[in-house]
Amino acid sequence: EKGGYDHFMLKEIYEQPNVIKDTYRGRLHANSGIVQMAGVEDNLEKFLHAQRILIVACGTSWHAGLVAEYIIEEFTRIPVEVEYASEFRYRNPIINPNDVVIAISQSGETADTLAAIKLAKEKGAFVFGVCNVVGSSISRETHAGAYTHAGPEIGVASTKAFTTQITVLTMIALRLAKAKGTLSNSDFYRYLQELEVIPEKVHEALESNEKAKEIAAKFKDAPNCLYLGRGYNFPVALEGALKLKEISYIHAEGYPAAEMKHGPIALIDEQMPVVVIAPKQGHYDKVVSNIQEIKSRSGKIIAVVTKGDVQVKELADHVIEIPETSDALSPLITTIPLQLLSYHIAVMRGCNVDQPRNLAKSVTVE
């Protein structure tokens, strides 16, 4: 049932090219400029009149929400806020009838997310679900939605759910951008085409497996680890850190790279591995100077770079190469080597990768 893989997590990491394709199949037609999902088409007016989009979710799904915030704002100019469902429901949030709430949940059963949805409905908002499990509580409780087609996710650590959530949310952003005219025609077509080839690039990114294993062997005994990224890759840094802590029990923190100097840089010494997401597109020069700051304090740098990179390679202790894509779509690629790195570290530490201690696949209690 693990399809020849040692763990469900690894199998699910490797399924990503296929499930991303399954998620956009029938919805994305790059050559004809069509991107459509029934749940969005049926409620297009509500989305187009939204004064604001509020995203509620927990854990990895919340990280997908953060990526979506950057994408939706950039493509559609609709203001987006992302909240932990657990915070949202307990703070008398301001919700207006023309807010659109998007709830993201792999299992569709997360208690806090479900409660946040009920609250938003009571306050008159239109609630749209992005779920993986068909017929789940959240998919039934929301007014409309679009499923991810990741298939069953058995490993407790979420991997393919994350990338398929980003796929659906990117398609929503593109659909709204088309209707609102907030992207130029050429950008719109370019993003559609780039999204269509993401599965091949994820496949290519999976070739970093051996390299990730090599790096894992070097850092498996580290007590701490930092993850840094900027822009679209800041949420990827958070997600990389979450993956490492939940399956390997190494303490890890994700930070926006520029926040380093406001505190966390004090942690850096020769013992501290720092994973830096540094693709060529987007804030590259800024990330390079962040890397220099870490290096001058003797931190050990593991960098995720675009194939053919020169500058970061000279500075970093270890590099993992990934194929190039546009900045906005890069989280779908940059997240892959980070999943592999956590996986190998956890295996080498003898951890129960698929069922980490203290964790449940769906958190139906608050």
Catalytic residue numbers, as ranges: 361
Residue 12: which of 357, 332, 336 has the closest Cα? Answer: 336
76 near ligand F6R, judged by CB under 6 A: no
CB crowding 161-196: b at 16 or more within 10 Å, else e = bbbbbbbbbbbbbbbbbbeeebbeeeebeebbebbe
How far apart CA 281 and CA 326 sit, in angstroms, is 6
Q: Which stretch binds ligand F6R (CB under 6 A): 106-114, 181-189, 218-226, 323-331?
A: 106-114
Indicate the residue among 130 and 319 with the shorter CB distance to ligand F6R: 130
Indicate the residue among 115 and 268 with the shorter CB distance to ligand F6R: 115
334 near ligand F6R, judged by CB under 6 A: no
Q: Quick count: other Cβ atoms within 10 Å of Cβ 18?
A: 16
Cβ atoms of 168 and 103 within 8 Å: the answer is no
233 near ligand F6R, judged by CB under 6 A: no
How far apart CA 274 and CA 263 sit, in angstroms, is 15
Residue 320: which of 218, 166, 214, 194 has the closest Cα? Answer: 214
Closest residue by beta carbon to ligand F6R: 59
Number of residues this chain uses to bind ligand F6R (CB under 6 A)? 15
DSSP-based three-state secondary structure for 103: strand
**What residues form DSSP beta bridges with 277?**
304
Least distance to ligand F6R, CB of residue 205, Å:
19
136 near ligand F6R, judged by CB under 6 A: no
Q: Quick count: other Cβ atoms within 10 Å of Cβ 209?
A: 19
Q: Which stretch binds ligand F6R (CB under 6 A): 6-14, 107-115, 295-303, 318-326?
A: 107-115
167 near ligand F6R, judged by CB under 6 A: no
330 near ligand F6R, judged by CB under 6 A: no
**Matching residue, tokens 């990330």:** 287
Q: Which of 110, 139, 142, 170 binds ligand F6R (CB under 6 A)?
A: 110
Q: Which of residues 37-66 bind ligand F6R (CB under 6 A)?
A: 58-61
Q: What backbone torsions phi and psi does residue 38 show, to the nearest 5 degrees?
A: -50, -45
Q: Which of 76, 86, 113, 163 binds ligand F6R (CB under 6 A)?
A: 113
335 near ligand F6R, judged by CB under 6 A: no
Indicate the residue among 246 and 327 with the shorter CB distance to ligand F6R: 246
DSSP-based three-state secondary structure for 54: strand
Q: What backbone torsions phi and psi does residue 55 show, to the nearest 5 degrees?
A: -110, 130
Least distance to ligand F6R, CB of residue 138, Å:
7
Q: Are strands 126-131 and 144-145 parallel, antiparallel or unpaired?
A: parallel
How far apart CA 142 and CA 299 sit, in angstroms, is 46
Least distance to ligand F6R, CB of residue 49, Å:
28
Indicate the residue among 112 and 309 with the shorter CB distance to ligand F6R: 112
Q: Which of residues 244-263 bind ligand F6R (CB under 6 A)?
A: 246
Q: Which of 158, 164, 306, 330 binds ligand F6R (CB under 6 A)?
A: 158
How far apart CA 326 and CA 239 sit, in angstroms, is 20
Interface with ligand F6R (CB under 6 A): 58-61, 105-107, 110, 113, 157-158, 242, 246, 362-363
